[in-house]
Structure 1
Amino acid sequence: MARIDLHTHSTTSDGTDSPADLVRTAAAAGLDAVAITDHDTTAGWGEAQDACPPGMRLVRGAEFSCVSPTGREGEPPCSVHLLGYLFDPGHEAIVAEQARRREARVARLETMIERMAADGYPVDVPTVFAHLPEGGSAGRPHLGRALVSAGVVGSVGEAFATVLSPASPYYVRSSNTPVETAIEMIRAAGGVAVFAHSLARRRGRVVEPSVLSDLAARGLGGVEVDHPDHAPEDRELLRDIAARHDMLATGSSDYHGRNKTTPIAAETTDPDVLDALLERARGVEVVTGRGTG
């Protein structure tokens, strides 16, 4: 059976593998298909496509930073993520919103760096942004790696749990895209929208299952079911929601290279689900390895 991982990150956002190394890592792990889904950018698509090993399929996508109602009365919206697959990267609304999000990410990170530097932390803007490629999407992991290099913390995970956490005085909130808007943009660009790690409770607040049902009526095409941060009972709940609303039930590692301990292909997608995804998408086609690997 083909092995498929539909959620991975490269150095064009918060991963540590270049797009070329990402597809090579996927091939070395025995994957037959992999999706590149960097945050709020498609800048890594070309390099990944050019390096894609012969025979491997590359699903081009992105992870959209969004905000959503939780479905609980009186509670403020929470941060969520939406995976967009095989959309037209030149679609006007997506180009504009991804550019806005990348600019907002830079401003947010600069503010966090300045706050930390003012308190004596050995970080500065040029160092943190030194290795971000053109068109790349900055994020807290870049600051986390700078803190690791400076000996402030032992790992990026430790940084996220302490000085970069939402409870930290250095934290700055994001200006994310309303999830309904992101779904509409992805669909208009010919892509398929899949709700990422929707019940990853250990990350913080999550939406109620009713929100996923409501979004299915708005065009949500799938839910990420098998994810390292999902408990077994939540996987079954999500699988049931997907089946009831004719949504795809995907599985993915959410691989970030050395920024997380989860290896690529830790979770995978059923081949039939990928086939259904390809049938529904009309923005761009899946790429079958034309590179040298």
Structure 2
Amino acid sequence: MNVEPDKLLASAHRVLDIELEAIANLKQAFDQQFIAACQIMLACKGKVVVTGMGKSGHIANKIAATLASTGTPAFFMHPGEAGHGDLGMLGEDDVLLAISNSGETSEVLSLLPVVKRLGIEVIAMTRSPESSMGRYADIHLSIAVPREACSLGLAPTSSTSVTLVLGDALAVALLDAKNFTAEEFALSHPSGSLGKKLLLTLNDIMHSGDRVPLVAETSSIRDALVIITQKSLGLAGIVDAEGKLIGIFTDGDLRRVIDAHKDVHNTRISEVMTRNCFTAHREMLAAEALNEMENRNISSLIVVDAHNRPVGALNMLDLIKSGVV
């Protein structure tokens, strides 16, 4: 099927223009009803239960997920399943956020008498406060749009975009009201990149025990090279008689030793090691260590305790594997 590229682009541009217009009109929904909805959700001692059917259900599911990840306990309840037992998910301390563009979705409407009987407050998102759901709800939030982006005017397009944005506005308003922090966000996203950056410490990823490459200050360069090769971290920590770190020896130091024609068998490692090296503590965030390593142009480091005794080691590859990079 041959379609002119310009026609395809024209359709895409038209959709964008229509949906941008719909989202701009959404500002009218940020009124006293929006404030009241936020206050109800802030005062909620249970969970915000979000429901919707069809396309509204897909959007409701996403809104519930956004609320839950930004500090407002929430989950999605399928209205069809709710009518066959899942309504038991709702508790008297919960709030119901019901979504339907028409406000006449039978699966949702059939739940509302029971919900009201339980004394649960209802926030409805529909295009009209005069819809059945709008009249039944304690709070009505308008998702009316001038027109759908679908050229037939039938498929939910502008209306679902507006609903999604309104859900985001609620979630972020609640987040700000609660002073929800990035660290709290990370706690609900421990597997995501942000979670790793805010939660992962060097203690979680460092090599410890016998895997830490250490040699005594009286050892030869050759002894240090053997340890570096065995441990495969690109460096060796040099310790004194008390086990305290006094320096490191890296691949870069080895190149300088070779250039200076040093005797690797008879030269003590303490004569060629790098002193005053950068070290880290086990509680340091992995992301913070990564920044330090990049700023100092180093690829490996030693982790020490409060007495400057080595307790761990890691290199850039360890940070990459951890997902921090």
- What's the TM-score once normalised by structure 2's chain length? 0.25
Larger Rg: 2
Structure with greater proportional helix content? 2
Query: Which has the higher relative contact order, 1 or 2, with Cα contacts under 8 A spaced 6 or more apart?
Result: 1
